[in-house]
């Protein structure tokens, strides 16, 4: 065996949602593997900063401002990218949001926003990118969540949307496997992002005793996008420090 092929030299990778935590870590992972990275974000400054991160790692990179809920704008940007680079080999979609409330108290507006940004836009982005994936095939990686696999309080809309996303991943894998398009998900646990920086209480509940870092998710997404995962599709890779395998009713202290 000559080694694990995690290289993406000559591949064009589009990252959707390139903010300063998980999105930027995905950009860095793909750039480090040799991909040409195109950064998309509703925040043009975030997209530009992520593209600069890729360049610092020696990769070719560019950025575009786009709202993924605006299909027409997204279609135009995706077509432009494909025309410039001869297609799109890898798609990594990081966009999502959460709202914390008991399910019975969740407003229509909160529910719709969470589903729009965690599920609907993933479907829209995939629809727009699929026609530009080369005949040789490609890879799609979405960022799901452990909340799509197990329940927690105040996360009804988010968990339901992520569960739907996981099923979408599996369906796409079956439908587009004959085109050699692999579709997988990364399911993070608690990650130390700026939104919840310094939350040590969450880390104490993790079997590994700590919260994950954005880099952990970026590396997992890069692995799934690469040749090292060439026979992996329709799967959910948990990157959660062991949270989802822990029995919540019995512990060593019982």
Give the active site residues: 158
For the sheet with 181-188, list strands across it: 61-65, 36-41, 12-16, 90-93, 138-143, 181-188, 236-239
* 124 closest CA partner among 75, 62, 66, 192: 75
User: CA triplet 246, 252, 254: central angle to 5 degrees?
Assistant: 110
């Amino acid at each position: 065996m000559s080694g694990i092929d995690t290289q993406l030299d000559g591949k064009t990778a589009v990252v959707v949602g390139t903010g300063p935590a998980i999105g930027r870590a995905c950009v860095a992972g793909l750039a480090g593997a040799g991909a040409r990275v195109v950064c998309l974000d509703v925040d043009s400054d975030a997209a530009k900063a992520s593209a600069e991160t890729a360049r610092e790692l020696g990769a070719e990179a560019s950025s575009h401002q786009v709202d993924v809920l605006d299909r027409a704008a997204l279609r135009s940007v995706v077509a432009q990218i494909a025309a410039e680079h001869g297609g799109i080999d890898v798609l990594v979609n990081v966009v999502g949001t959460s709202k914390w409330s008991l399910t019975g108290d969740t407003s229509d507006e909160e529910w719709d926003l969470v589903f729009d940004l965690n599920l609907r836009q993933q479907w829209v982005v995939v629809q727009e990118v699929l026609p530009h994936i080369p005949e040789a095939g490609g890879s799609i990686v979405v960022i799901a969540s452990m909340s799509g696999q197990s329940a927690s309080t105040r996360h009804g809309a988010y968990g339901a949307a992520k569960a739907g996303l996981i099923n979408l991943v599996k369906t796409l894998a079956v439908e587009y496997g004959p085109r050699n398009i692999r579709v997988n998900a990364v399911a993070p646990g608690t990650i130390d992002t700026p939104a919840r920086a310094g939350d040590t209480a969450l880390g104490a509940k993790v079997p590994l005793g700590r919260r994950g870092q954005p880099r952990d998710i970026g590396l997992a997404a890069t692995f799934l996008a690469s040749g090292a995962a060439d026979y992996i599709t329709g799967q959910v890779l948990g990157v959660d420090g062991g949270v989802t395998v822990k029995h919540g009713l019995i512990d060593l202290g019982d």
